[in-house]
Amino acid sequence: MSHGRIRKAVFPVAGLGTRFLPATKTVPKEMLPIIDRPLIQYAVDEAIEAGCDTLVFVTNRYKHAVADYFDKAYELEQKLERAGKAEQLELVRNVLPEGVRAVFVTQAEALGLGHAVLCARPIVGDEPFAVLLPDDLIWNRGAGALKQMADAAQASGASVIAVEDVPAESTGSYGIVATDTFDGRQGRIRRIVEKPAPADAPSNLAVVGRYVLSPRIFELLEAVTPGAGGEIQLTDAIAALLAEAPVYAYRFQGTRFDCGTHIGLIEATIRYALDHEKLSDPARDMMQRALGELGVRERD
Q: How far apart are CA 63 and CA 67, in angstroms?
A: 7
**Rounded Cα gap, residues 300 and 289, in angstroms:** 17
Q: How far is CA 179 from CA 48, 131, 245, in A?
A: 29, 21, 14
Binding mask 260-299 for ligand UTP (x = CB under 6 A): x---------------------------------------
Binding residue for ligand UTP (CB under 6 A) from 1, 9, 10, 14? Answer: 14
Bridge partners for 173 per DSSP: none
CA distance 164 to 207: 7
Binding mask 89-128 for ligand UTP (x = CB under 6 A): ------------------x--xxxx-xx------------
Task: Calculate the CA dihedral of residues 72, 62, 256, 176 and round it to 10 degrees.
Answer: -140
All residues at 6 or more sequence positions from 239 whose CB lies less than 8 Å from its CB, including other chains: 191, 192
Residue number with the shortest CB distance to ligand UTP? 15
Contact flag: residue 65 with ligand UTP (CB under 6 A): no
Q: Are 129 and 214 in contact (CB under 8 A)?
A: no
Q: Which one of 135, 164, 236, 258 is in contact with ligand UTP (CB under 6 A)?
A: 135
Identity at 22, one-letter amino acid code: P
Contact 214, 241 (CB under 8 A): yes
Q: What is the DSSP letter of 149?
A: H
38 binds ligand UTP (CB under 6 A): no
Q: Does 55 bind ligand UTP (CB under 6 A)?
A: no
Minimal distance, residue 288 CB to ligand UTP, in Å = 32
How many amino acids of this chain bind ligand UTP (CB under 6 A)?
A: 20
Q: Nearest approach, Cβ of 59 to ligand UTP (angstroms)?
A: 8
261 CB contacts (<8 Å, ≥6 apart)? 19
Looking at 12-20, 138-146, 189-197, 268-276, which segment touches ligand UTP (CB under 6 A)? Answer: 12-20
At 199, which amino acid appears? Answer: A
Closest to ligand UTP by CB, 181 or 225: 225
Kindly state the smallest distance separating residue 10's Cβ from ligand UTP, in Å. 10
Q: Cβ closer to ligand UTP: 158 or 265?
A: 265
Which of these ranges, 6-14, 143-151, 274-282, 290-298, lies near ligand UTP under the rule CB under 6 A? 6-14
Per CB under 6 A, does 31 bind ligand UTP?
Answer: no
15 binds ligand UTP (CB under 6 A): yes
Quote the distance between the C-alpha of residue 167 and its chain's center.
21
Q: Is there binding between residue 43 and ligand UTP (CB under 6 A)? A: no
What phi and psi, each to the nearest 5 degrees, are found at residue 36?
-120, 5
Q: Which residues bind ligand UTP (CB under 6 A)?
A: 12-19, 29, 58, 107, 110-113, 115-116, 133, 135, 260
